[in-house]
Amino acid sequence: MAPTAKRRLRIRPGFEVTAWKYMRLSAILLVPLVWFHTIFTTLVVGAENINLNLVAQRWAALGWRVYDVLLLAFAFSHGVNGLRQVLFDFAPSAVTRRALNILLLLFWLLLFVIGAVGILGGVGK
């Protein structure tokens, strides 16, 4: 092979590649979601005006509830995926890693469903 010839390396898209891509995508989506939430809450509403009535008024609109569920989903899944990466540093075998994947997925699903039901629970009332 000539020294100037380029070789192409093909990476098979498996779970780890997908998780890596998801971390980047969720981070890109989280930045505007979090910044808008922070700016709206602190500058527009004012931190001193945040109370239960404000949350009830915001959640009266379905759009705010969907926004908050998206923020919850992306932030929590991004964090759990990061925790998965850290725990994998200490997982010696493939079996342990698979068990961690399943446990973390169940952990994420359980807490996400509880949070989403808490946010969306009163839709249509």
pLDDT digits (tens, 9 = 90+) for 5-28: 677 877 778 888 888 888 899 899
Domain ranges (residues) in the chain: 42-120
Distance, in Å, from the CA atom of 112 to the CA atom of 77, rounded to the nearest integer, reads 9
Cα three-residue angle 27-35-28, rounded to 5 degrees: 20
Closest among 40, 22, 14, 4 to 97, alpha carbons compared = 14
Considering 41-45, 46-50, 94-98, the range whose residues carry the highest mean pLDDT is: 94-98
Distance, in Å, from the CA atom of 23 to the CA atom of 37, rounded to the nearest integer, reads 20
User: Is pTM, for the whole model, over 0.85?
Assistant: no
